[in-house]
Structure 1
Amino acid sequence: MIPIQSAINKVTADALTASEFAAWPQRYVTGLEITEDDQGNPIEPFKVAVDKLLQAEDPQAKFGQFEAASLSNYCDLVGLLLQHLSSISRTPSYYFLVNGGPPPSGEAIISSEAGLVAKVRERMLYFGESWEQVIRLCFAIKGDKRAKEFAMETVWRDPEYRTEAQHIDALLKLQQLNVPEEQLWSDAGYTPSQISTFRAMRKEDAKAAAEIQKLGPKPEQAGPAAGNAPSEAKAARMAHKPPQGNSGNASRKIHEMK
């Protein structure tokens, strides 16, 4: 990317030079006699200003103006170089304000930043180990025993752009995979001190719920009512009662015939 950046710097310098010497309209006049001073130097015939009027008595005199040099060619070339720089560096083009137009939508931002996010995750893998070495060196200078803590891990912020609703929805899906709550809190962006406060608040909530449960009304024990329970004698009579229907009538008639 350095050669492309050098080309951008060169084109920008050319544009500044052109704006200094050729970006103003150049006026001219023909058919006008130029007078000279005592030393033979030409005398400027007009002092051009906003409140000045150009006048020539010679009928052959003509006034005109050359067009100013356009700087748009330099801008187009810089824009083209920026597009190459964006493609090679995997940086979204709207970061450089190239092509103008309306701002991209949420889905377009996620799609255009895919290459940049992949590059950032790659840097996180190697820079994380470097920062761990720095922290161990700091502990060694302080004489802290954590200087030999090789299980240290650098925790990076999520580089991917996501809305809060998308982020929380992804965490809820991870909860269904039995991911621990503290890990979910950490992925949600809460600091370790906030997570420690959450644990203390959860304990206080559990204590308050237990106290409310003790002060509340006792649930009634379910059981059959005394008046509705059939007696043993009634249950025995019901057991010896002949079955209803034709089969019962037939058996009663056979008993009477006997």
Structure 2
Amino acid sequence: MADILERADYALSRIRQDFSERLEVIDRYYRGKHAGPYMPRSANDEYKLLAERCVHNWLPWVVAAPLQNLQVDGWRPASGDGSAVWDVWQANRMDARQGSVHEGALVYGHAYVAVLPDPAGPRIRPLSALRMWAAYADPVSDEFPLYALEIMQSPDDGELTGARFYDAEAITDIRYEMKKTADGGESLTAVVAGRTPHIFGVTPVVRFAASLDLLGRSVGLVEPLIPISDRINQTWFDLLVTQTYGSFKVRYATGMAPPLDIDPATGMPRTDPVTGEPLYRAVGFDPTRFLMAEDPDTKFGELSESPLNGYLAALELNTQHLAATSQTPPHYLLGSMANLSADAFAAAEAAMTRKVDALKQALGEAWESVLWLCATAIGADADRSAQVVWRDTGSRSLAQTADAFGKLVQMVDVPPQALWDKLPGFSQTDIDRFRELAEETDPAAKMANALAKAATPPGVPAVASE
């Protein structure tokens, strides 16, 4: 137990270090709490108000562009139907909850999913990088960590209340208590509250990394865009200042004394109570007034407004840099899309498509590890060659897809059942229903499946006939 507490203490220090050095800044920017623009030290309240209004948070839209194309829609084992494993997915409501895992990986660089054994069925727990840290012998190649620590915080004040330690043998619950020290002070002490062995043989925690280098470092979409976001906010601030103070013409008159400020009650000029000097009334310039002066030396003129075109061009350029750096189609952010041909639209989406494909490869491997843990927990066939099926979010219509698949069946002799998993808009539940209906309407297939089940030894999954 002492070794577990030592490792838990080290993992807790790493969580706090990562939060204070990187993740806190990323979290602030993603939620729109950016660093303020440059202002002079003597800035008044009006300047500070403009500084608050200049923050434009593009980062959620940059993350949402690939996030909306990441949706696991099925589970394709090498043999059998895999329905038992997919039932675990459905029981944990992962159709909806998987989005938070993908978002965490895209924002912070990585997220985690833990699988906990439970008598009612394994529980899948999505966990943020702000609440978990995992240790790897080889952070690049290892599928599962040596150990991992998940922290629990009070919902009232955010104080640390407990933790859950995962390793290859068991899941250990840790409770943190404030205890008196020898010098009369208090210190946070970790106490083992319980230990639950598991049958996985590995630490049941899977890391979801959006981009992993050869040193095991994961970088999300937000961190590289923070300097560009600061530039955009500074340009917006300069634009607001110029718009507030210099975007209108200023009329002036020289050689003319302003009129005295007359007290309507006495008809006499008002005077300064301290100096006794007469007070003057400001001359109001109104479009409906005709300006004239008795003094022949009086001159009227105007100061031209400051043009805003340069600021608007700088904003558009910075936004294009943001789009290029994040591989986001510019029209997603600028809305500048009109009369694009199909080829031009495909070219504009090409970078985003390649980016989403790379994310599907990285995150798909992680989901396959999660479902392998679920299969192990329920005693099903733990198929290491199984794959997840991603939802097709392309702009092709169902008629175009059906026409293409029909040609594959007729011209290339591809079995129709082999294409069911690729149909857009249909979930794994729909495809399982297709197979059931096909078996009901095909007596030969139904008899073959019955014979295969009868000949299968106990404990070995039967292979369904196509």
Matched position secondary structure for 2:251:
strand
1:109 is matched with which residue? 345
2:309 is matched with which residue? 72
Q: Which of 114, 119, 122 lines up with 2:358 in the alignment?
A: 122
- Cα distance in 2 between the residues matched to 1:139 and 1:199: 21
- Cα distance in 1 between the residues matched to 2:296 and 2:254: 11
- 1:188 equivalent in alignment to 2:423: yes
Per mean C-alpha deviation after superposition, the further-off stretch among 114-123 and 197-206 is 197-206
Query: Residue 122 of structure 1: CA displacement?
Result: 0.4
Contact 1:27 1:65 (8 Å CA) reproduced:
yes
- 1:177 equivalent in alignment to 2:177: no
- The 5-angstrom pairing of residues 83-102 of structure 1 reads 83-97=320-334, 100=336, 102=338
Q: Which of 387, 392, 403 lines up with 1:153 in the alignment?
A: 387
Equivalent position amino acid for 1:31 in 2 = G
2:38 is matched with which residue? none
Q: Which of 56, 60, 63 lines up with 2:300 in the alignment?
A: 63
Query: Residue 33 of structure 1: CA displacement?
Result: 0.9
Of Structure 1 and Structure 2, the greater strand share is in: 2
CA-based RMSD: 3.4
Contact 2:235 2:315 (8 Å CA) reproduced:
yes
Contact 2:250 2:302 (8 Å CA) reproduced:
yes
Matched position secondary structure for 2:323:
helix
1:214 is matched with which residue? none
Contact 2:259 2:283 (8 Å CA) reproduced:
no
2:177 is matched with which residue? none
2:401 is matched with which residue? 167
2:238 is matched with which residue? 14
Larger Rg, first or second structure (1 or 2): 1
- The 5-angstrom pairing of residues 125-140 of structure 1 reads 125-134=361-370
Q: Which of 257, 266, 273 lines up with 1:33 in the alignment?
A: 257
Equivalent position amino acid for 1:102 in 2 = A
Aligned residues: 204
Per mean C-alpha deviation after superposition, the further-off stretch among 66-75 and 51-60 is 51-60
- Cα distance in 2 between the residues matched to 1:55 and 1:95: 54
Matched position secondary structure for 1:15:
helix
After superposition, give the CA deviation of every residue in 1:25-80 in whole Å (9 maximum; x if it has no partner).
22211221135652247634323456555443334333332222111111111222
**What's the TM-score, normalizing by structure 1?**
0.63
- Cα distance in 1 between the residues matched to 2:375 and 2:441: 38
**Cα gap change, 1:200 to 1:29, in 2 (>3 Å):** same
After superposition, give the CA deviation of every residue in 1:201-244 in whole Å (9 maximum; x if it has no partner).
5567779xxxxxxxxxxxxxxxxxxxxxxxxxxxxxxxxxxxxx
Q: Which of 284, 305, 309 lines up with 1:47 in the alignment?
A: 284
Contact 2:372 2:383 (8 Å CA) reproduced:
yes
Q: Which runs of 5+ in 2 are unaligned?
A: 1-223, 261-269, 444-466
Matched position secondary structure for 2:319:
helix
**Cα gap change, 1:139 to 1:186, in 2 (>3 Å):** closer
Equivalent position amino acid for 1:177 in 2 = V
- Cα distance in 2 between the residues matched to 1:41 and 1:130: 81
- Cα distance in 2 between the residues matched to 1:193 and 1:137: 21
Contact 2:368 2:388 (8 Å CA) reproduced:
yes
Query: Residue 103 of structure 1: CA displacement?
Result: 3.6
Per mean C-alpha deviation after superposition, the further-off stretch among 4-13 and 84-93 is 84-93
Matched position secondary structure for 1:154:
strand
- Cα distance in 2 between the residues matched to 1:146 and 1:41: 97
Query: Residue 131 of structure 1: CA displacement?
Result: 3.2
Contact 2:232 2:318 (8 Å CA) reproduced:
yes
- Cα distance in 1 between the residues matched to 2:232 and 2:429: 47
Matched position secondary structure for 1:155:
strand
- Cα distance in 2 between the residues matched to 1:86 and 1:10: 18
Equivalent position amino acid for 1:195 in 2 = I
- Cα distance in 2 between the residues matched to 1:10 and 1:27: 30
- Cα distance in 2 between the residues matched to 1:137 and 1:206: 35
Contact 1:117 1:160 (8 Å CA) reproduced:
no
Q: Percent of aligned pairs with the same residue? A: 30
Of Structure 1 and Structure 2, the greater helix share is in: 1
- The 5-angstrom pairing of residues 182-221 of structure 1 reads 182-189=417-424, 190-199=426-435, 201-202=437-438
